[in-house]
């Protein structure tokens, strides 16, 4: 589908500088632009690329003033926030590629399941007993939805994802390929012989509205009660969330985070990649945890933490500076020791 620069400017409430009739039919990074592509410039670090881009249209901030001549084939659209406006266009493009409602075969829907209007169900998908699937849900091929699961309106579940029994998925969630929602929590207790005995995990997982779960991430069901991911939370790929964890509203975590059982994560918390949290910890609202940190105690204050074990980032940076100087300090210390020995020897 093609759009003119004038149409795009109208959608974004922007101002066209150049040819308003030029058409675009694809999106591209500014450094990889080509004729017929739409790009954006939001970060000044990439400004150099706008002067030789082959894109036909580029979205820029209203504050942008070129330092040299732009390509004659380039039309720019000035908006208040180029990054946000390009995101809006990406959302529009994504909605245009959404699967048309239909049920592909072979697939299985239990007779006791209730299915909403205008859903897409891909081939080899499975919907178990007593499930409730809302309107406008997209379930891609090879998805398994076990018994008694609820899936809210507008949710998208990508290929190969598995949702275990009794779990509750809110509205407008996105669950990416290979994610597992509701597998057993890691509950084992050694007997008198040191043999692990499995503790049944009878709870579930609740994803509130607008939660994103990345590819191959796992969220374990509660031993009792619920593992809860609050509305708006964003979970990256390859994340492990243990049983009875609670993740607060609009919190986000990057890839390879591991959260042990019964942790309570506050609202608007940001957790960097490869962070590990020990069990039964509490993390307060708006806390930030830097990548590769190891959290072994509660983090209650609204601060940035880093290191393993994690502590306040300003103190960590001072400590790290000292650690980097340690080899030189040791060399100087050895030299001083040698001087002392020589002085004692001379006496």
Higher pLDDT among residues 322 and 17, named by residue: 17
Task: Establish whether 280 is a catalytic residue.
Answer: no
**Cα–Cα distance for residue pair 220/243, rounded to 1 Å:** 5
Residue 143: closest CA among 209, 228, 155: 155
**Cα–Cα distance for residue pair 281/277, rounded to 1 Å:** 7
Please say if the pLDDT value at position 58 is more than 70: yes
Q: What is the pLDDT of residue 340?
A: 87
Exposed / middle / buried, residue 97 (Cβ in 10 Å: 0-12, 13-18, 19+): exposed
Please say if the pLDDT value at position 1 is more than 90: no
Say if residues 264 and 283 touch (Cβ distance below 8 Å). Answer: yes
**Cα–Cα distance for residue pair 125/110, rounded to 1 Å:** 11
Ranking 43-52, 112-121, 332-341 by mean pLDDT, the lowest is: 332-341
- For the chain, the C-alpha Rg in angstroms (whole number) is 27
Say if residues 64 and 78 touch (Cβ distance below 8 Å). Answer: yes
Mean of per-residue pLDDT scores for the chain: 94
Catalytic residue (choose from 124, 140, 176, 243)? 243
List pLDDT tens digits, range 325-344.
888 888 888 989 888 888 88
Reported as a pLDDT band with limits 50, 70 and 90, residue 115 is very high
């Amino acid at each position: 589908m093609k759009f003119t620069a004038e149409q795009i400017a109208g959608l974004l409430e922007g101002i066209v500088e150049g040819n308003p009739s030029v058409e675009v039919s694809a999106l591209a990074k500014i450094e990889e632009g080509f004729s017929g592509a739409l790009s954006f410039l939001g970060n000044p670090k990439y400004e150099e690329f706008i002067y030789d881009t082959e894109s036909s249209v580029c979205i820029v901030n209203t504050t942008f003033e070129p330092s040299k001549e732009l390509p004659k084939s380039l039309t720019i659209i000035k908006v208040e926030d180029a990054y946000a406006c390009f995101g809006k266009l990406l959302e529009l493009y994504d909605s245009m590629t959404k699967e048309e409602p239909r049920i592909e075969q072979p697939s299985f829907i239990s007779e006791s399941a209730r299915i909403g209007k205008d859903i897409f169900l891909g081939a080899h998908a499975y919907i178990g007993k007593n499930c409730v699937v809302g309107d406008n849900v997209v379930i891609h091929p090879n998805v398994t939805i076990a018994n008694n699961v609820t899936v809210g309106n507008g949710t998208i579940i990508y290929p190969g994802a598995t949702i275990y029994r009794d779990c509750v998925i809110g509205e407008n969630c996105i669950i990416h390929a290979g994610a597992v929602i509701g597998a057993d929590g890691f509950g084992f207790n050694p007997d008198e012989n040191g043999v692990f005995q499995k503790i049944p995990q009878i709870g579930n997982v609740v994803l509130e509205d607008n939660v994103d779960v990345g590819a191959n991430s796992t969220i374990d069901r509660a031993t009792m009660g619920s593992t809860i991911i609050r509305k708006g939370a964003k979970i990256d790929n390859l994340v492990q969330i243990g049983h009875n964890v609670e993740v607060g509203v609009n919190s986000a975590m990057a890839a390879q985070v591991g959260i042990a059982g019964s942790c309570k994560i506050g609202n608007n918390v940001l957790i960097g990649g490869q962070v590990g949290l020990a069990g039964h910890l509490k993390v307060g609202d708006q806390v930030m945890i830097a990548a590769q940190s190891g959290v072994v105690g509660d983090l209650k204050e609204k601060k940035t933490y880093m290191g393993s074990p994690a502590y306040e980032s300003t103190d960590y940076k001072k400590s790290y500076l000292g650690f980097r100087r340690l080899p030189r300090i040791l060399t100087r210390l050895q030299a001083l020791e040698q001087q002392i020995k020589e002085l004692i020897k001379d006496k």
